[in-house]
């Protein structure tokens, strides 16, 4: 059973109305969050359930949005310090939104990179005639684990050798000539 179009009218059954309210409230808050992030806007939503219980969503938070809204209702020449304060908050919010967008871009790039690496590993295993790791049995996984541990040990030994050679070279460079 998929989605179906419903008529927009008051839901008469109280329990169905409560369920509909809960689901739609979640969707509404999710869309508001997306709008705030994508468009770098400040948003506040306050709704009351059919039972009279209040629910709110705000980005960055409901209190700051309501405070800003109430200050804009007053005359523009009332108190310049409050206007300066809200511009500072707006700049901070804008900076935070920009940082969030940058982090989301980096996350997306890393996810794509991970997918590419996964495809590369699968392709190399297939080229060698090996099954994908997620299709290996317990004995094969044990062999893979021991070979990875062996590789790790060899790499550690190689790094230790390189550090020793580097130290010897530094000592040789700083040794006084006779």
Residue pLDDT, tens place only, 118-176? 888 888 888 888 887 778 889 988 988 999 999 999 999 999 999 888 888 888 777 66
Identify the band that residue 51 occupies on the pLDDT scale cut at 50, 70 and 90.
confident
Instruction: Tell me the C-alpha distance between 39 and 155, whole Å.
Output: 48
Torsional class of 21: left (φ above 0), alpha (ψ -120 to 50), beta (otherwise): alpha
What pLDDT band is residue 84 in, cutting at 50, 70 and 90? Answer: very low
Give the number of other CB atoms < 10 A from CB of residue 34: 10
The pLDDT of residue 79: 46
Which residues, at least 6 apart from 104, have a Cβ–Cβ distance to it below 8 Å? Answer: 37
């Amino acid at each position: 059973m998929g989605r179906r179009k419903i008529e927009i009218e008051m839901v008469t059954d109280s329990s169905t109305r409560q369920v509909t309210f809960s689901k739609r409230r979640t969707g509404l808050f999710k869309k508001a969050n997306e709008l705030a992030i994508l468009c770098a806007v400040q948003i506040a939503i306050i709704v009351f359930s059919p039972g009279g219980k209040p629910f709110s969503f705000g980005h960055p938070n409901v209190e700051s949005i309501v405070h800003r809204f109430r200050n804009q209702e007053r005359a523009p020449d009332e108190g310049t310090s409050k206007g300066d304060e809200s511009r500072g908050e707006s700049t901070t919010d804008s900076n935070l939104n920009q940082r969030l967008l940058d982090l989301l871009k980096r996350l997306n790039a890393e996810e794509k990179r991970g997918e590419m690496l996964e495809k590369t590993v699968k392709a190399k295993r297939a080229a060698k005639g090996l099954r994908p790791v997620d299709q290996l049995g317990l004995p094969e996984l044990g062999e893979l684990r021991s070979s990875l541990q062996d590789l790790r040990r060899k790499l550690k030994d190689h790094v230790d050798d390189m550090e020793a050679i580097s130290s010897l070279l530094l000592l040789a460079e700083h040794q006084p000539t006779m």
